[in-house]
Amino acid sequence: MNYRHAFHAGNFADLVKHAGLLRLMATLTKAPGPLTVIDTHAGRGLYDLSGAEAQRSGEAEAGIAQLMKAADLPAAFGPLRAAVNKLNNSGPTKLYPGSPRLIADTLRKKDSYIACELRGEEHAALRMALKGRTGVETLCADGYETAVSRCPPKGAVLVLIDPPFERPDDYTRIVATLKAIGRRNRDAVVMIWLPIKDLQTFDHFLNEAQDTGIGPLLVGECRMRPLNDPMKMNGCALVTARAPADFAASMEEMCRWTAQTLGQNGQGRVSTLS
Ligand code: SAM
pLDDT tens string 15-67: 999 999 999 999 999 999 999 999 999 999 999 999 999 999 999 999 999 99
Q: Model ipTM?
A: 0.99
Residue 196 burial (CB count, 10 A): 20
**What separation in Å is there between the alpha carbon of 117 and the centre of ligand 1?**
6
Amino acid at 30: K
Output 88 or 215, whichever has higher pLDDT. Answer: 88
Question: Ligand 1 pocket, 101 CB below 6 A?
Answer: no
**What separation in Å is there between the alpha carbon of 160 and the centre of ligand 1?**
11
Burial 19-42 (b: 16+ CB within 10 A, else e): bbbbbbbebbbeeeebbbbbbbbb
Question: Ligand 1 pocket, 1 CB below 6 A?
Answer: yes
pLDDT tens string 201-241: 999 999 999 999 998 999 999 999 988 888 888 999 999 99
CA-wise closest residue to 258 among 196, 211, 185, 207? 196
Domains within the chain, CATH numbers bracketed: 5-263 (3.40.50.150)
Rounded CA separation 137/58 (Å): 32
Angle at the Cα of 73 from the Cα atoms of 68 and 78, rounded to 5 degrees = 75
Longest dimension (CA), the chain: 48
- The DSSP code sequence of 146-211 is HHHHHS-SSSEEEEEE-----STTHHHHHHHHHHHHHHH-TT-EEEEEEEES-HHHHHHHHHHHHH
